[in-house]
Chain A
């Protein structure tokens, strides 16, 4: 299977959407059934406006949908989209995505780059301990 760019985009959005603990909390709540913005905002100590923004991100990632239901506009979890994320290749990708983003962060600090500058050409740092056999 070749991972096509559109799938890449979709996953990238999903990754961003799920990288936030509040959004994961919202997803967890929605897995038990649809809920309104008010209901979703309840467990979090953030404004309703902030929760609405989080829901928008989840919507753009295709993980949740909103329906018109008279005055209530409940948010629904798209279980299929979430299921797609658990296909092994996608999860494998998420893990690497996380790993590479960690590496990005490390490389963005002076530590990552200074070490390279001062270490270049010297022998490798090694970690060695007695291995329990």
Chain B
């Protein structure tokens, strides 16, 4: 059975908290975030091509990547890595270029649980509750992995 993911979006507050454990050592989980070749293998939705223009997972670094689906629709994201501490912590900004200037700040904690296991906690802060809900809904539009994009059509059918 897979590790459960816990997502909390408190009512009336522009936050999102995500918690997930991995059956892998903290160095491996951290490295999967640091090495762009590895990031490409998990961050993009299935069925999308992920073109990493820049990925510098270091303090004062930054990133930009573009997802393109089979229909040729592209969605670009960028941000800066404000601080990165190896195997421990990172703070980044996140912007979907389809919604310019709506920038969230995400802090990620990599926690060594021992026995080769890791807990990842992500806390995102949006400019407003509306920005949180709107951003996420638009994020849905592009981020839905292969298969889920058909759900809307099914429900509408």
Chain A interface residues toward B at CB < 8 A:
1-3, 8, 12, 18-19, 21, 24, 27-28, 31-32, 77, 79, 82-83, 85-86, 88-89, 91-108, 111-113, 115-117, 119-121, 123-129, 131
Chain B interface residues toward A at CB < 8 A:
2-11, 16, 18, 20, 22-25, 27-32, 34-38, 41-43, 45-46, 52-58, 61, 64, 84, 86-87, 133, 136-137, 139-140, 143-145, 147-148, 150-152, 154-155, 157
Q: Is the CB of B137 within 8 A of A31?
A: no
Give the residues in chain B near A19, CB-CB below 8 Å.
147
A46 CB → nearest B CB, Å: 18
Closest chain A residue, CB of each to CB of B24: A107
**Total cross-chain contacts (CB, 8 A):** 168
Give the residues in chain B near A31, CB-CB below 8 Å.
154, 157
Q: Is the CB of B140 within 8 A of A106?
A: no
**Assuming the A-B contacts A79-B155, A97-B5, are A123 and B58 also in contact, with contact meaning beta carbons closer than 8 angstroms in the complex?**
yes
CA distance A24 to B139 in the complex (A): 22
CB-contact partner of B20 in A18, A100, A125, under 8 A? A100
